[in-house]
A and B are shown apart, each in its own frame.
Chain A
Amino acid sequence: ETGVTQSPTHLIKTRGQQVTLRCSSQSGHNTVSWYQQALGQGPQFIFQYYREEENGRGNFPPRFSGLQFPNYSSELNVNALELDDSALYLCASSLAVGGPNIQYFGAGTRLSVL
């Protein structure tokens, strides 16, 4: 049990719709990272938030956006959903940025785009 919670657990959307996924970070952590894990693949880094500011972004289009709130919880928003967006979305929290630090993962949100 990492203390990182994600909601919802599962979600079904239609192509073109918009979706918001939520993440509550572990107590004391101020950094949240989001990853996309397609079926049978390793997780791919989407972006990271540190103290409410984006701090690094992977190779994902602008329709993937996020927020971090003062309590360090976070949202991932995806606009204009495409079929290829179907994946497990993982949130990880950690303390601070830079240097080696451990990221603790939630159980993920399974998104299916039809």
Chain B
Amino acid sequence: GNSVTQMEGPVTLSEEAFLTINCTYTATGYPSLFWYVQYPGEGLQLLLKATKADDKGSNKGFEATYRKETTSFHLEKGSVQVSDSAVYFCALQETSGSRLTFGEGTQLTVNP
């Protein structure tokens, strides 16, 4: 079946540091890929998405590129802020259905 694997967390960075959160997936067909963010006590918010190979999703300084050859969708940001502290989830969506399959999540803490 489909699955998503995220790098183990938690991740702690200083403000303005570079961020990478690794995500790899296993899927049949050609899924769409997503990054969602969850702030404390809240639901999930869509951060960015990519629907086909080599697409780059970007939003709020975050970006991720859909790499079919390595089945990866790593999240990056050049300079993190304290307000980026949250849990980040990588997810895939089958092309034949609409359920989302999530990774375990990565807790990011950014210190001033």
Contacts and interface: CB of A to CB of B under 8 A. Distances in A.
B97 A102 contact: no
A101 to B, nearest CB: 6
B96 interface: yes
A33 B101 CA distance: 12
Nearest to B96: A98
B2 to A, nearest CB: 10
A66 interface: no
Interface string B94-110: 01111111111100000
Contacts of B32: 100
B44 interface: yes
A97 B96 CA distance: 9
B89 to A, nearest CB: 6
A48 B102 contact: no
Contacts of B89: 42-43
A106 B43 contact: yes
Interface of A: 2, 4, 6, 31, 33, 35, 40-45, 48, 55-56, 58, 90, 92, 94, 97-108
Closest 7 CB pairs of A and B: A42-B102, A100-B32, A105-B43, A105-B44, A107-B43, A45-B99, A100-B51
5 contacts: A43-B100, A43-B102, A45-B99, A97-B97, A100-B32
